[in-house]
Amino acid sequence: MIDAVVFDLDGVLVDSEQVWDDVRETLARERGGCWHAQAQRDMMGMSSPEWSQYMHDVIGLRESPEEINRQVVARMLDRYAHGPPWLPGAVDAVRRIGSRWPLALASSSNREVIDGVLAAGGLSELFRATVSSEEVERGKPAPDVYLEAARRLGIAPGRCAAIEDSHNGIRSARAAGMVCVAIPNVHYPPDGKALAEADLTPETIAELTPEALESLSTQTTK
């Protein structure tokens, strides 16, 4: 039985993974770092302390992880100044699902980015709880951010459905014991093994309906 729905943000509601990629790569090249093709996939799902440490240790930026984080977030907010890059149908999907279940959000984005995006879409009041992975011990694929979202909702994780797009996100939701709906990210699709762990795989967020989630309500988690 599903009693709540927990959304991811980047790649599920906003088409933003490549924006994070561009911002971090640009900063790395400006600062003389050694960017590589696998860097974005490596950092997908990491909390801000984790990916800023990665940029310091692996990419080779001289600035402290705290300063790297500050600069990346400032650039992301600047990129969103004229509105977040909403995926088609995302705002309507949140409203549809929110009319049936309490909602939470479990995101790897920084708190400032989460709050700004939801406010821009007029969605803030629809989410009873929002959690940034910078507020928990470990980022995705660890389950911490989803477990914290369920805790703040006051609903057992096994009675929540998670909406995800990436391999680390799917694994995070499944590790938390949640039903998982995977909408594959078109820019950085999850690998087949992670996708096979999902309970439902619509092609787009626009296809996410209460009826689709209701069909999972009688299923037990894998």
pLDDT tens track for 64-99: 999 999 999 999 999 999 999 999 999 999 999 999
Q: Which pLDDT score, from 0 to 100, does residue 169 have? A: 95
By DSSP bridging, strand 103-107 and strand 160-164 are unpaired
Sheet holding 160-164, edge to edge: 127-132, 103-107, 4-7, 160-164, 179-182
Model's pTM, two decimal places?
0.92
pLDDT of residue 63 exceeding 80, the answer is: yes
- pLDDT for residue 222 is more than 50: no
- CA nearest 136: which of 74, 47, 28? 47
CA of residue 121 relative to chain centroid, distance: 16
Q: What is the DSSP secondary structure assignment for residue 56, as one 8-state letter?
A: I
* Per-residue pLDDT reduced to its tens digit, 166-201: 999 999 999 999 999 999 998 888 989 989 999 999
Q: pLDDT at position 219, please?
A: 56
* Domains of the chain with CATH codes: 4-15+84-214 (3.40.50.1000), 17-79 (1.10.150)
